[in-house]
Structure 1
């Protein structure tokens, strides 16, 4: 059965950018790769307030972030992970997940500097080429931990 998805899912390119799907959350490749491996961790609920999510979403978040960090760790080897919960333009509960690093990363013949390092991420920078974003999505999906 197909899940009902909120408008934020579509805004961030779903279902084409979908990497992993859980009961309460999904993980998408961010269409603008601010840093290599930038993701959107999105609640599947219609809620716009973090505190309104069901208890199960909070419990599941532990597994989702563990899986996310394992896959990104293998792909990017970041020095830090930033989870930004902004929800100013896209109202549904979601995080922008940005791997952070001091030395430029390269993937798919493309350079991915972290132009904000070591300060806040520079959300105005990044790679938006659809073919590169799809290659990033595919690579991260292939590294995603398999759940029994």
Structure 2
């Protein structure tokens, strides 16, 4: 199986897609270490950051200009962390982690950024599909506001 297919299945990129640009897909992480955590992944298979094409770098700038204001409107984060780890998943992608100094209430749940202001913790249990789909719909509604 191609690496990109394994990656997209692992993170359910297509199921939880929030926004897609010419070269990148922003999707919700199935595990939510912080409220609104996502994955930003390249649409073509590419195992190294140095393998990006000029137009993919330019488009990265474009999609980040959608991600940050959208998440700010949705959850009013304090700061965003972009983590490019690629230790297990050898495909160019970032983990997008909105960070919160104070607890945030959303859809009947209080979200605590347990490691604030230190390095974020990525572990956690996946949320039910219906809840994740609701998160996606909520975030998507903030793109056009």
User: Taking structure 1 as the reference length, what is the TM-score of the superposition?
Assistant: 0.89
- Please state how far the C-alpha of 1:145 moved relative to its aligned partner: 4.1
| Aligned match of 2:86 | 87
**8 A contact 1:70–1:145 mirrored in 2:** no
DSSP-derived class of the 1:103 partner? coil
- Measured in 2, the distance between the counterparts of 1:96 and 1:29 equals 10
| Aligned match of 1:63 | 62
**8 A contact 1:108–1:132 mirrored in 2:** no
Change (3 A) 1:43 1:120: same
Alignment of structure 1 residues 69-148 onto 2, 5 Å: 69-125=68-124, 128-145=127-144
- Measured in 2, the distance between the counterparts of 1:85 and 1:52 equals 14
**8 A contact 1:34–1:127 mirrored in 2:** no
**8 A contact 1:115–1:125 mirrored in 2:** no
DSSP-derived class of the 1:68 partner? helix
Pairs aligned (count): 142
Change (3 A) 1:43 1:73: same
**8 A contact 1:112–1:126 mirrored in 2:** no
RMSD after superposition: 1.7
- Measured in 2, the distance between the counterparts of 1:47 and 1:65 equals 19
Alignment of structure 1 residues 11-50 onto 2, 5 Å: 11-50=10-49
| Aligned match of 1:6 | 4
- Please state how far the C-alpha of 1:112 moved relative to its aligned partner: 1.4
Q: Once superposed, which parts of structure 1, at least 4 consecutive aligned residues long, lie more than 4 Å away?
A: none
- Please state how far the C-alpha of 1:105 moved relative to its aligned partner: 1.1
- Please state how far the C-alpha of 1:38 moved relative to its aligned partner: 0.4
DSSP-derived class of the 1:6 partner? helix
- Measured in 1, the distance between the counterparts of 2:117 and 2:126 equals 19
